A and B are shown apart, each in its own frame.
Chain A
Amino acid sequence: MPRLSAAQRHPVRFRLNGEAVEGIAEPRMLLADFIRHELGRTGTHVGCEHGVCGACTVSIDGTMARSCLTLAAQVEGCEVRTVEGLAPEPGRLSVLQAAFRRHHALQCGFCTAGILMSLDVYLRAHPAPTEPEIREVLSGHLCRCTGYAPIVRAAMDAAAELSLSTRQEDVRYV
């Protein structure tokens, strides 16, 4: 990583949901603020700014990460995915998103983007999760509306549907 000066703004370039993006940021700028306010992708939300609530979770090079504890400059050259990249195309929902809607797994929807990103990353690596495993993944997220049970059901249902699908990748990620 190049040496950055605290007093200056530096260009930051990375891929966001498969698309090359670029912006200017002070070295101290948080990734969450950069994505939301510089790049205008406001689907990622900030709930606590200290890494506990999980609302700001994004995928960085395929790993779930808190964008409130990550500096924008740290993702230079990385592949970042956010909730805006989950749906296969405008007007359609991914299997996981559709399961959330079917199971009423969200109410206010503020924490939902982070939960979707964690589950998306997790289910890619663990296509046949158990309920305790899903609950363990979700324990990194705080939801005040749902009591988690419908989120667990949606995740299990989505995992089952994805594993049944013969053209899994086509349905899941475009």
Chain B
Amino acid sequence: MGLTATMTSSARSGPWIGRSPERVEDAALLTGNGRFIDDLGVRPGTLHAAILRSPHAHADILTIDTAAARAAPGVAAVVIGPDVKALTASLVVGVKAPVECWPIAVDRVRYVGEPVAVVVASDRYKAEDALDLIEVRYAPRPSVIDPLAAIAADAPILHDGFPHNVASDRRFRYGDPEAAFAAASHRIAIDIVYPRNSCTPIETYGVVAEYSVSDDAYDILANFQGPFSIHAVISRALKLPGNRVRLRTPPDSGGSFGVKQGVFPYIVLIAAAARIAGRPVKWIEDRLEHLCASSSATNRATTLAAAVDDEGRVLALDWDQVEDCGAHLRAPEPATLYRMHGNLTGAYDIRHMSVRNRVIVTNKTPTGLNRGFGGPQVYFALERLMQRIAVELDIDPLDVIRRNLVPGNAFPYRTASGALLDSGDYAETIELGAREGGLDELKARRAAARAEGRLYGIGYTAVVEPSVSNMGYLSTVLTPAERRRAGPKNGAQATATVSIDPVGAVSVHVASVPQGQGHRTVLAQVIADVFGVAPQDVRVNTEIDTAKDAWSIASGNYSSRFAAAVAGTAKLAADRIAVRLRRIAASHLNVEASEVAFGNGKVFSRDNPDNAMPFARLAALSHWSPGSLPDAAGQTIRETVFWTPEQLAAPDDADRINSSLCHGFIFDICGVEIDRATGEVRIDRYVTAHDCGTILHPGMVDGQIRGGFGQGFGAALLEEFAYGADGSFLTGTFADYLLPTSTELPEPVIVHMQTPSPFTPLGAKGVGEGNCMSTPVCIANAVADALGEKNIVLPLVPARIRALIAGEEPPAPVGGMTAPRAKKPGGRGLEGEGSADVGAPPQAVWDMLLDPATLQAVIPGCHGVEKISDTHFRAEVTLGIGPVKGRYRAEVKLFDLDAPRAVTLSGTADGALGYGAGEGRITLTPRDDGGTTVSYTYDAEIGGKVASIGGRLLDGAARVIIGQFFAALARHAGGGAPAAGAAGGLSGWLRRLFGGAR
């Protein structure tokens, strides 16, 4: 098959919108000819950066010794916080507060993974070598991970400018919620803890930056996705006007889902590093960096209450949302919280509402854009609540949904908090989804399963999917008085340019940055329909260069704005040229302009199609004979349109905000069966019915739905950025942060209805984010139905499900296995105990344990032991744990000495790969054979890179190392062997590593 898809002659004519031609992007991507950022060449002499990151969640930086790193081969520069601070200004913080936010730690680290130093070297390998030579001394502070704990009175404070860790606390009131609650016969409430997760694109961040001294300007290439309002943040941080900060994007980007908005602090950091190094600098993020420290969705604690009548109608809502934005409030946060503000009543006709929104900082990675952006958090609370209303009032959950829907004749419908729902017929979409999705059959399966004693449940969600964000919605976080001082913010400029070259070939440029959504294909379809040419005759460029292209703050690819706003704007630009072409054609064809039509590559008279001329010839006239064109026809060479919808007004004084232009509707049904023994959730069927307005390319719309569903499925069942109680990041690999794979992800049944949006040029609405909003809670509702449970916490991993159904488990048989001892909650804590037999009397063993020379000989990987005092030792050791092997400095102090019977050891270890702290008690018991039984217990906490990527192996590794220690001690004492405890641990670990697990 050729690279240009062959078309039959009948298929060559329009209209192209609504069809699913093969994508123009695919041939290059399928043959290895994509042009992602790391596939592009760089200028000769470009240096490569690697970043040293904090192993601590919260600590003061005492000293950073970079001398050895600077002297390492190939190293050109080592950049630390004060260097960056000298060249840049603080990143803008999203609320008004005396708080600074730097792209690299200055004096203090506030999350694991925060950049501490950047090494710039001749290649990446050498840069990473030099990272290991940087010595940083930290003084750890108490950290706080949970958002509700962060607002407690005695919580550690992250920023003095955020009292009680609260960056913003706003209350809103719409209608008369107090009266509605007082009058309602029921108050039904739910408490939600929504976890942290991320859509994790498979391509990580990348930046190439250089600084020109002579121009005093930066030139930056980054796989940034927008919004380009962030360009203003970047240029302000780099202390230059925007016209001296040229930001370009590569032709291809390997997925983003919002996440690549978060590359911007690294743009500032690498730009500063390039200025310091005096050479271009390239940085490609690795996966550990990405999982640990790029960005994530917010986690949120929500209490939501409804005033409900006896029929299940919701009369009022009362929201209390505590939003956790991580360690810094980076632009555009707290946008995740406010993106849904107009949509807090979902798909329902609810006129009274009160809202309290608190924005909190904790010792976790700063948050940012992520597909669904606020929708998953809001709908998890709202749709769980609707399910609870059904359960508590004993009404069918689908009837509760139906009774509360915005009626079909009410559009456009203004919600209580100000959104203008543009179009739809929600009840009709629900009936369509239930019918086409086979709801009756699912109900029969549930009945049959339950009759057999199996756990089967059905969940529903009805969700309004907002798209095309109002650039003014974030200002809802300010009070009306603050907004008046700041000036109104509103609108959403979409930008498109259509140009025609001297041979009549059509090109399109849009200020949107695709990461796989097929923009080039769809734009070719849209423009082909306007000019009556074939899509393959239209060339589309979707790169952005802020120095040359038309763009504005809303440029970029986010809030599902492509189909609704950008593609429509391209059509408007082409329409403007088409109007002029008609005037020119009219004079050539001797007809009225209104009679001119485009089709099959020709321009012709509608009444007499034989009266025609080739499109390319007509289109080129503006180049070749501009002097001969009809008066006032105007040029047809290039047209740029900026389009912003009038419906996107600034928030009003009553805090009503139309936060998005378009509102699609989704109705989902999920049937699940739960394995009672393992707690595994299996999706029996998932139905997702969408009304996203006019569909431009059905194949791509279904692709967006399947992809969003996959990420929603992962959020529901697998994915969580897990932190230890001390703030250690515990999911630093794709073996710890589990994504759905082909063996467990089912294919959803997709149902469509099309109610065009009256507000967009093509009638299209966004569709890409909806299932990230609807699917997590739909699966949760199904699980709640299956288990009869109220408190459903994501992700629904088997262990969590098992804990929910454990009450039904029969008692364990006598003598059977017992559950392992519970660890401290949340921490990557290690505890263990064991014993070893040593062929020497207790006093000899005691002396060996306190002798530096013996310790050096028996501690695995020990390079040297220094005796500071009789009870204080310092050691250098090399330890390998799982995939990470590194050198650590250990300090050990002895307490409670009871010679020669027992001693308590308390120690810390730290190195480039992490740190640990622990305590152990060793007891020596004389044996009948003259030897000694050495018994020990230990309890340790591990943090840093080791905890992030070696977490699964830590318990086993600790046992191995301790076993090795006692085996060596026994050898050193001249006989004996470790007793069962340690040996069992070692062999058990080896068996797990190399045996059954494979």
Contact = CB atoms under 8 A, between A and B. Distances in A.
B202 A106 contact: no
A106 B203 contact: no
Contact of A47 (B287, B515, B747): B287
Interface in B702-729: 702-703, 706-707, 709-711
Contacts of A116: 30
Interface stretch (B212-220, B228-236, B735-743): B735-743
Interface stretch (A72-80, A96-104, A121-129): A96-104
Interface majority SS on B: helix, strand, loop or mixed? loop
Interface in A35-81: 36, 41-50, 52-53, 55
Contacts of B26: 100-101, 106, 109
A108 B515 contact: yes
B287 A49 contact: yes
B788 interface: no
A142 B254 CA distance: 12
Contacts of B748: 147
Interface in B1-45: 1-3, 20, 22-23, 25-27, 29-34, 36, 38-39
A82 B39 CA distance: 15
Contacts of B27: 93, 101
A82 B31 CA distance: 10
B734 A110 contact: no
Contacts of A55: 202
Interface string B514-527: 01111000000000
Interface in A133-160: 134-136, 138-139, 141-152
A42 B40 CA distance: 9
A44 B34 CA distance: 10
B31 A97 contact: yes
Contacts of A148: 710, 741-742, 745
A29 interface: yes
A10 interface: no
Interface size class of B (residues with CB under 8 A): 35 or more
Contact of A83 (B32, B200, B257, B747): B32
A28 B22 contact: no
B703 A145 contact: yes
Nearest to B254: A110
Nearest to A41: B32
A61 to B, nearest CB: 20
Nearest to A44: B32
A163 interface: no
Contacts of B254: 45, 47, 108-111
Interface in B692-706: 699-700, 702-703, 706
A28 to B, nearest CB: 7
Contact of B22 (A46, A48, A102): A102
A10 to B, nearest CB: 15
A87 interface: yes
A140 B23 CA distance: 26
Given A107-B518, A110-B254, A48 B31 contact: no
Interface in B306-339: none
Given A109-B516, A148-B745, A52 B30 contact: no
A56 to B, nearest CB: 11
Contacts of B145: none
A110 B286 contact: no
Given A45-B203, A104-B703, A111-B202, A142 B31 contact: no
Contacts of B252: 108-110
B516 A107 contact: yes
Contacts of B23: 101, 104
Contacts of A87: 30-31
Contact of B707 (A97, A111, A144): A144
Nearest to A108: B516
A108 B203 CA distance: 9
Contacts of B199: 144
Contacts of A42: 32, 36, 38-39
Indicate the member of B20, B27, B703 with the most A CB atoms within 10 Å.
B703
B883 interface: yes
Contacts of A44: 32
Nearest to B736: A52
A49 B286 contact: yes
A109 B707 contact: no
Nearest to A98: B1
Given A112-B29, A139-B742, A29 B707 contact: no
B34 to A, nearest CB: 5
Nearest to A95: B1
B437 interface: no
A108 B33 CA distance: 13
Contacts of A110: 34, 36, 201-203, 252, 254-255, 516
A149 B747 contact: yes
B287 A48 contact: yes
Contacts of B935: none
Contacts of B125: 26, 28-29
B644 interface: no
B889 to A, nearest CB: 25
A53 B706 contact: no
B735 A149 contact: no
A97 B30 contact: yes
A48 B734 contact: yes
A150 B22 CA distance: 13
Given A109-B25, A136-B743, A142-B734, A150 B706 contact: yes
By Cβ-Cβ distance, the 8 closest A-B pairs, closest first, are: A43-B32, A108-B516, A110-B254, A109-B29, A147-B706, A107-B516, A42-B39, A52-B734
7 contacts: A87-B31, A104-B23, A106-B516, A109-B29, A110-B36, A136-B743, A143-B202
Given A110-B203, A111-B254, 8 more contacts: A43-B31, A45-B36, A53-B734, A92-B1, A101-B26, A102-B22, A139-B742, A147-B707
